Chain A
C-alpha cells in the first residue's frame, strides 16, 4: 500500500509493472482504516477481528465491493 501524488502517478506505477490498478483511498479513508483496523493491537489479550468485525470496519469507511472481499 503506497501513497501517490495523484491518480496519474498510480497509473504510471501500475503500467511500469504491468499490474492492474487496485483500490484507491483518500488519505482520510486510509487514516480511518488504519486507526480502526489496528486500534486494539496493543491490547494484551488481542485476538484479532472476527470476519464480521472486519467487514463492518471496511463498510463503515465505504470500502465495499469485490476488492474488499476476504
Chain B
C-alpha cells in the first residue's frame, strides 16, 4: 500500500475508533473496525499498530486492545466526564478536561483528590470557562518523559 493510501486508511481507522468510543464508551476491537470499514482484520490490526507507533492510540501491552485514544480512556478511571448528556472516562485530569473541550465548552469532571484522602472534587466548565475552580493540578512527570510510561504519566 502506498504511503498516502496507508495514511488515509489510518485516518479512517482513528476517526472510527473515536466515533465508537464517543458513541458507547467502548473501544472497538480489530474485528469490529474491520467490519465497519470493510477491510480485513489483518489490515485493521496493522493500522492499529501504526497508530500506536505514532502515539495516536495506546494498546494494552501484548494485545490489540485499545487502552487509550487520548484524551479518551477505554477503561474506567477515577476521572468521569459528563458533557452533553453523556459520560466518558478521561485518562487523567488533563484528558478529562480535554474531553469537554474537544466536544464543546460545557461539562464537568467528577474525581477525587489525587492523594487518596477521599475528598470528592468536581471541576465544572460552563461557557468555556471553569466555574469557581477549586484545587490544583499536578503534573509529576516532566514533559520529555511523558511517553516513557504513559499509563503512569
Which residues of A approach B to under 8 Å, CB–CB? 1-7, 9-10, 12-14, 16, 19-31, 33-39, 41-42, 44-46, 48, 66-70
Sample of 16 A–B contacts (CB below 8 Å): A1-B94, A3-B109, A10-B115, A13-B115, A13-B138, A16-B115, A20-B140, A21-B138, A22-B140, A24-B136, A28-B129, A28-B133, A37-B98, A69-B143, A69-B144, A70-B143
List of A residues within 8 angstroms of B137 by Cβ: 1-4, 24-27, 29-30
Pair A4/B141 contact, Cβ less than 8 Å: no
With A9-B117, A24-B138 as contacts: A44 and B15 at CB distance below 8 Å = yes
Top 3 nearest A-B pairs (CB, nearest first) are A2-B114, A35-B101, A27-B133
Q: Is the interface of B mostly helix, strand, loop or mixed?
A: mixed
Is B97 an interface residue when CB atoms closer than 8 A count as contact?
Answer: yes
Chain A residue nearest to B103 in the complex (CB):
A42
Q: Is the interface of A mostly helix, strand, loop or mixed?
A: mixed
Nearest Cβ on chain A to B6's Cβ, whole angstroms: 14
Pair A1/B92 contact, Cβ less than 8 Å: yes
List of A residues within 8 angstroms of B71 by Cβ: 34, 38, 41
Pair B102/A3 contact, Cβ less than 8 Å: no
